[in-house]
């Protein structure tokens, strides 16, 4: 089965993320797909994802970055997330990837490099 990834938002049709991520999936020889998903009901969306064994995670864009937090099993302390991954079966973990501190340009521990 192909691993499934996506970016969610509302609106989302303008997103360049699917083209970028599909390029890298193919380039790296990974069996996966990445799509843009218009999501208006976050609770229903994540309930369905918890039951989908092929769904691995998603990127989150406006206006959902803050609204997703109460629906996750774990989220960072920054107050918004832009990356959600499945861990340990149905556990959903939110992160703020590559969040830079205002001072010193350091990358925080929320998934940055």
Residue with tokens 């990356």: 83
* CA dist list (Å): 46 to 23, 27, 66, 95, 99: 26, 29, 14, 16, 24
Residues with a catalytic annotation lie at: 65
Could you tell me whether strands 55-60 and 83-87 are parallel, antiparallel, or unpaired per DSSP bridges? antiparallel
Among residues 23, 20, 29, 30, which one has the least CA distance to residue 56?
30
- Backbone phi and psi for residue 87, each to the nearest 5 degrees, phi listed first: -135, 140
């Amino acid at each position: 089965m192909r691993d499934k990834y996506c970016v969610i938002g509302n609106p989302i049709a303008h997103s360049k993320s699917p083209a970028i991520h599909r390029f890298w999936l193919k380039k790296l020889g990974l069996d996966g797909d990445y799509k843009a998903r218009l999501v208006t009901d976050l609770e229903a969306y994540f309930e369905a994802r918890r039951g989908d064994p092929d769904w691995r995670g998603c990127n989150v864009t406006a206006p959902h970055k803050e609204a997703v937090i109460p629906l996750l099993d774990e989220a960072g302390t920054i107050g918004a997330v832009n990356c959600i991954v499945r861990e340990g079966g149905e556990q959903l973990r939110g992160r703020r990837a590559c969040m830079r501190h205002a001072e010193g340009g350091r990358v925080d521990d929320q998934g940055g490099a």
